[in-house]
Amino acid sequence: MSLESYLPDPVRSRYALKLLGGAFLIVLVITALTTVTVFQVSDRVRDDQLRSVETNAELEARALGQWIDGKQQVVRTLSNHEGLTPVDENQTEATLRTELGQLSPETASLSIVKRSPNTHSNGTSETIVASTDSRFVGEPLSATDIDWKPRTGFNFDGTDDVTLSLVYTDGNRTFVALASPLPGGDHVLVAEYQTSVRAERFSSSINGTDTLVLGGYTAYVLFDENDTNGMVPYEGDRQNTTIGRTVLRAEPTADIHGTVLTDTEVKAYYSVPGEKVDWVVVKEVPRSKALAVTDRVQRDLWLLVGIVMAGFLFVGAVIQLGPIRSIKRLSRQANAIAEGDLSVDIDRGDRIDEIGEVRSAFDNTRAYIETITEQAEALSRRAFDDEVLDADVPGRVGQSVATMHHDLQQFITRLEVLNRILRHNLRNQLDVINSHAEALDDAEHREAILAATGTLAALGTRARHIDHLLSKEPQPTSLDLAEQIATVLNDIDAAEAVTTTVDDDATVVTDAEILATVLRAPLENAVTHAAGEVRVTVASDESGCRIEIADDGPGIPPSELKPLTSETETPLQHSRGLGLWELKWGVDKLGGDLSFRADDGTTVVVELPNLDSS
C-alpha cells in the first residue's frame, strides 16, 4: 500500500494540494529546526549578555571597594601628619585646610576630635577641636550628623585602626565618614566624603544604565548616579523585589551577586569587597538595550526563515501559474459544462503539449453537448423542422435523440388531431343534445340533460382557455393589484361578499391575462363554498407579491390537493375538474409558488415574483 493511500480524498484528488503539502512539510521541518536554533542561540546570547551586565556590576563594586580602601589609607596617613598637633589649634587647622585642598573632590571636610581612649563611645559627645568647617569647631561630634555603625561605634582597636561609618544624609546630600586615631590615641582624625560626587564617576558599558548602591543592613538606596534625594527603600518596597529580599536575608558583609530579568529591565547586583563595607552595587539596564544583541539574533534568524519560506512560495507560485493553473481553469470550465453552462469559451491556444490536447478534448466535448442541448430545446418547442435536428450526433445519445424526435413528433400530431376533434365535435354534439332536450315534455329530464351538457361545455371552454394560456408567452406589465382583484370580483359578481386588504401602492410586474385567471379560480371557489365572508390579503415588495384568499367553508379535500403536489393523476387519485389545475398551471407559468392551509376553512396562498419586463 502506497503512502498516498493514507491521504484524505480531497488531497489525493488534487495534485496542487499534494505539492503544496510536501512543500509545507519541508517548510515546517525547516521552521521547527530554525525555531529550536533561534531559542538555543537566543538563550546563549541572553545568558552572555546577562553575565556582561553582572560583570559590569562586579567591576563597579570592585572599583568602589578600591575607593574605600584608598580613602582608609589616606585617613590613616593623614592621622600621622606632623602638622596635626592638638596643642596648637591654629597650626592643626591650617594643616587640615591645606590637605583638604589637595584631596579628591568628594572629600567634604576634615576634623580633629578629642576623645577618651579608654571609654566606649557611640560618637556623639566628643568635642571637635579643629575642622575645615568652622561651624563645627567646639561643637560635639553629633553636630556633623555622622551615623556610626551600632556594632563598632566610635571605638578603635589601636592607633592604626580605621572606622567606617554608615552612609548618612546632610540635607539633600549623602556622606560617609572615616576616622583614625592620632598618635597617642586621645584625638581622632575624621574625614567626611560626599558619596554623590563619587557616584558621578560610575561607568557602564551600556548606555542608559542606572547605577545604585544599596546598604547591606537595610536594602536602602544609599546613593546613586541620579543624585536621589536622601536615602529611600529600594524600588519603594524592599520586600517585594528580588534584589531587596536577597540583600535583607544575607549577612551584611556576605558576598552576594546575581542577575534579575524583568519585563522592562535587566538588573545585576554585586557586593562591594572589603571587611568593613556592607554595600551592594546594582546596575539597572533597559531590557531593550541589555538584550539588543539577542533581539538582533532572533530577528536575523527569523528573517532567514522568512527567506526560506518565500523561496518555497516562489517555487510554488511558478508551478501554480504554469500547468496547475491551466488544469484548474480546465477543471472549472468542465464543471461549468457539467452544470449546464455551455457558453464556456475553452481557448485552445497554440499549445501542442498535453495541456493543449486536454483543452482540445474538452472543447470537442462542449460542442457535442451543446448540439445535443440545442436539439433537446428544439424538441421542447415542438420545432420539428429546426435545422439543428439534422445535425449528426454520433453514439447512443444521438440515436436516442433521433428516436425521441420521431416518437415525440408522432405523439404531438396525434394530440393535435384528437384535441381538434374533441373541441369541434364535442361542441357540435352538445348543441344537438341541447336542442333535442329542449323539445322534451318531461321537465325533470330536460333540466338534467341541459345541466350536464352545460357542465361539459364549460369544461371544454375552460380546457381551451388553459391551452391558450399555456401556449402564450407572458407579457409582463406593472399591474395595480387592488384594481386587478376588483375587476375579477366584479366579473364573478362577488364584490360585496369579499373583504379585501391591500397594501398601499401594491403592484406586481406580470402578465395581466394569466394573473386574472389565477385570481378568478380561487375566488370563485371561496365565494361558492364559504359559510361567511371571504378575506383577501395582499402584500408586495420589490421582489414580488403575496396574495392570500381565505374562506370558512368545508375546505378542499386532501384527495383533490394530492394530485397537485405529485403533478400527476391516477385512476385512484384525481381531481374532479380543471379548476385547481388551471390555478396551479397559471401560477407555474408566472414563476410563482402555490400553497394551501386547511384550518377552519381553506386559505390559498399565491406568491408571484416580478417578471423581467424587458
What are the two backbone dihedrals, phi and then psi, of residue 609, each rounded to the nearest 5 degrees? Answer: -85, 160
In a domain, 385, yes or no: no
In a domain, 1, yes or no: no
Confidence category of residue 562, pLDDT binned at 50, 70, 90: confident
Residue whose cell numbers read 573632590: 105
In a domain, 178, yes or no: yes
Whether residues 296 and 198 share a domain: the answer is: yes
In a domain, 227, yes or no: yes
In a domain, 60, yes or no: yes
CA distance 128 to 187: 9
Contact yes or no for 225/202 (Cβ under 8 A): yes
Whether residues 442 and 485 share a domain: the answer is: no
CA distance 375 to 404: 10
Average pLDDT (407-420) is 62
Whether residues 126 and 235 share a domain: the answer is: yes
Confidence category of residue 572, pLDDT binned at 50, 70, 90: very low
Per-residue pLDDT at 575 = 47
Per-residue pLDDT at 574 = 40
Listed residue (142, 178, 186, 141) closest to 161, CA to CA: 178
- Nearest 5 degrees, angle CA 387-CA 392-CA 394? 150
Confidence category of residue 5, pLDDT binned at 50, 70, 90: low
pTM reported for the whole predicted model:
0.48
| DSSP bridge partners of 600 | none
Whether residues 533 and 609 share a domain: the answer is: yes
131-171 pLDDT, tens digit per residue, is 999 899 999 999 999 999 888 889 998 888 999 999 988 87
**What total of structural domains would you count in the chain?**
3
Whether residues 90 and 205 share a domain: the answer is: yes
For 17, the 3-state DSSP assignment is helix
Contact yes or no for 296/84 (Cβ under 8 A): no
Contact yes or no for 121/127 (Cβ under 8 A): no
Residue 530 pLDDT greater than 60, yes or no: yes
The domain boundary, picked from 436, 471, 506, lies at 471
Whether residues 139 and 94 share a domain: the answer is: yes
Contact yes or no for 389/378 (Cβ under 8 A): yes
CA distance 259 to 266: 7
Percent of the chain's residues with pLDDT above 90? 22
In a domain, 478, yes or no: yes
Whether residues 76 and 159 share a domain: the answer is: yes
CATH code, domain carrying 545:
3.30.565.10
Which of 60-69, 82-91, 149-158, 344-353 has the weakest average pLDDT?
A: 344-353
Average pLDDT (210-225) is 85
Whether residues 255 and 289 share a domain: the answer is: yes
Whether residues 451 and 490 share a domain: the answer is: no
Listed residue (348, 323, 344, 326) closest to 335, CA to CA: 344
Listed residue (298, 306, 318, 319) closest to 27, CA to CA: 306
CA distance 592 to 611: 10
Average pLDDT (578-603) is 84
Distance (Å) of CA 61 to CA 64, 98, 259, 271: 5, 31, 14, 6
Average pLDDT (504-531) is 87
Residue 573 pLDDT greater than 50, yes or no: no
Contact yes or no for 195/222 (Cβ under 8 A): yes
Which range is most confident: 196-210, 290-304, 358-372? 196-210
Average pLDDT (17-24) is 66
Q: What is the mean pLDDT of the chain?
A: 79
Distance (Å) of CA 27 to CA 24, 301, 317: 5, 14, 15
Whether residues 287 and 423 share a domain: the answer is: no
Per-residue pLDDT at 109 = 93
Whether residues 412 and 305 share a domain: the answer is: no
Per-residue pLDDT at 78 = 93
Residue whose cell numbers read 448540439: 371
In a domain, 49, yes or no: yes
Please report the beta strands in 61-196, taking only residues with DSSP state E, as ranges in sequence order.
Answer: 107-114, 127-131, 163-164, 168-170, 173-181, 187-194
CA distance 268 to 508: 84
Listed residue (367, 364, 386, 366) closest to 376, CA to CA: 386
The domain boundary, picked from 437, 471, 505, lies at 471
Per-residue pLDDT at 48 = 77
Which range is most confident: 113-117, 275-279, 408-412? 113-117
Name the residue with higher pLDDT: 416 or 473.
473
Phi-psi region of 190 (alpha: psi -120 to 50; beta: other; left: phi over 0): beta
Which cell goes with 494? 362577488
Which cell goes with 488? 375579477
In a domain, 53, yes or no: yes
**Alpha carbon 21 to its chain's center:** 25
Residue 58 pLDDT greater than 80, yes or no: yes
The domain boundary, picked from 262, 296, 323, lies at 323
Per-residue pLDDT at 231 = 77
Contact yes or no for 482/516 (Cβ under 8 A): no
Task: Residue 542: give the domain boundaries.
Answer: 473-613
Whether residues 313 and 228 share a domain: the answer is: yes
Per-residue pLDDT at 509 = 92
